Amino acid sequence: MLFSVDLGTPVSKAVDWLTENLGGLFDAITSVMTSLVNAVLYVLTAPHMLVVIVVFTALAFLARGWLFAAFTLGSFLLIQGMGLWTAAMQTLAVVVVASAFAVVIGVPIGVWAARSPLVSTLVRPVLDFLQTLPVFVYLIPAVFFFGIGLVPGVVATIAFAVAPAVRLTELGIRQVDPEVVEAAHAFGARPAQILRGVQLPLALPSIMAGINQVIMLALSMVVIAGMVGAAGLGTVVVRGISQLDIGIGFQGGLAVVFLAIFLDRVTSALAAPDGRRFRIRRRTGTPDAADIEKSPTAAAPTAPVSA
């Protein structure tokens, strides 16, 4: 060994300093996260489970039609029959909260990166680091800062799932046709108006695809977060592993698969570029031929030249 490098000691000291000096901030984050997850869980569990299943089935029908609606109905009835309804709703509540925070953080950063080459250059290595970091490593600082329980699982899930929202938002905005942006400039639109009225509507399928990936990563991380005490199906799977109970582990894993398929199909349907909703937004966000003809910058038609 030519030389030795100790990175663990300064990292440990930094964590200790943050814990001692920012304890109030971590307590506030814990309170907010717990309240939000409990609120979403209340919405999911306050009605009778059959009412919630009917709502999920209706969403599945609107997204994919009768076949997927029948699959959704059977899946959630099976989850209830296995006695995992409460655990599944706890997992869904954590996924909803963590995905919402990841989208709220990731989409603005993606927009900023698309409009600034410097920000894109700075953000890219951070995203590469987040996406290549082993999954279990996310739990270490979360447990140090927030202890054992629900909140470290939510925080680790947010950090793990935020990257696709940034990348696909930036990609979608960069892929908007420059001629459309130039046409909006010709109409006298300001940069904020172009972003809101042209670039975001046209990039919406890519942004929705990023949200879909955020939800899938959040669901996978929530299961692993069961190792640090996050309630839900992750706890069921961990119990099956620790007790070597194949039946419990299989049931918990099957419920996770059903949730993943439901969330994936519904969110991917929203991301479909040929959906009616997105066609309407695309037409309203993009100047059409009539608008261009009315533009003061449009060239006047030339009269036919007589021989």
For residue range 126-153, what is the model confidence (pLDDT) as tens digits? Answer: 988 888 888 788 888 888 888 788 888 8
274 vs 25, more confident: 25
Q: Is the pLDDT of residue 246 over 90?
A: no
Instruction: For residue range 35-76, list pLDDT tens digits in order.
Output: 999 999 999 999 899 999 999 999 999 888 899 999 999 999
Cβ atoms of residues 106 and 166 within 8 Å: yes
Q: Is the pLDDT of residue 300 over 60?
A: no
pLDDT at 240: 83
Burial degree of 232 (CB within 10 A; 0-12, 13-18, 19+): buried
Residue with tokens 């969330």: 263
User: Token pair for residue 279?
Assistant: 């066609």
Query: Torsion angle of alpha carbons 12, 14, 15, 16, nearest 10°?
Result: 90
Query: How do residues 254-283 score in pLDDT, each as one tens digit?
Result: 998 999 899 888 888 876 655 444 333 444
Domain boundaries of the chain, sorted by first residue: 23-286
CB 44 within 8 A of CB 93: yes
- Return the pLDDT at 191: 80
**Across 60-64, 79-83, 296-300, least confident range:** 296-300
Q: Token pair of 159, please?
A: 């950090």
CA 270 from centroid of its chain's CA atoms: 13
Long-range contacts of 69-74 (CB under 8 A, 24+ apart): 71/261, 72/262
Q: What is the mean pLDDT of residues 95-108?
A: 92
Share of the chain above pLDDT 90, in %: 27
Q: Which two tokens stand for residue 71?
A: 């699959």
301 — pLDDT class (breaks 50, 70, 90): very low
Q: Lowest-confidence range among 117-121, 182-186, 302-306?
A: 302-306
Q: Are 189 and 120 in contact (CB under 8 A)?
A: no
Give the residue among 270, 280, 273, 274 at the shortest CA–CA distance from 64: 270
Is 23-286 assigned to CATH 3.30.2000.10?
no
What's the full length of the chain, in residues? 307
Of 278 and 212, more confident: 212
Structural contact between residues 286 and 180, judged by C-beta atoms closer than 8 angstroms: yes
Q: What is the pLDDT of residues 163-175, one digit of tens each?
A: 999 999 999 998 8
Tens-digit pLDDT profile for residues 187-201: 777 888 888 888 888
Gyration radius of the chain's alpha carbons:
24
Check whether 235 has a pLDDT greater than 90.
no
Q: What is the pLDDT of residue 271?
A: 65
- The predicted pLDDT at position 253 comes to 87
Residue 238 has pLDDT above 50, yes or no: yes
Residue 5 has pLDDT above 70, yes or no: yes
For residue 259, how many C-alpha atoms fall within 13 Å in the half-sphere facing its CB? 32
Task: Return the percentage of the chain with pLDDT > 70, whole number.
Answer: 87
pLDDT band of 284, cuts 50, 70, 90: very low
173's enclosing H/E stretch is helix 150-174
**pLDDT given at position 7:** 74
Sorted by sequence, the CB contacts under 8 Å of residue 237 that are 6+ apart come out as 223, 226, 249, 252, 253, 256
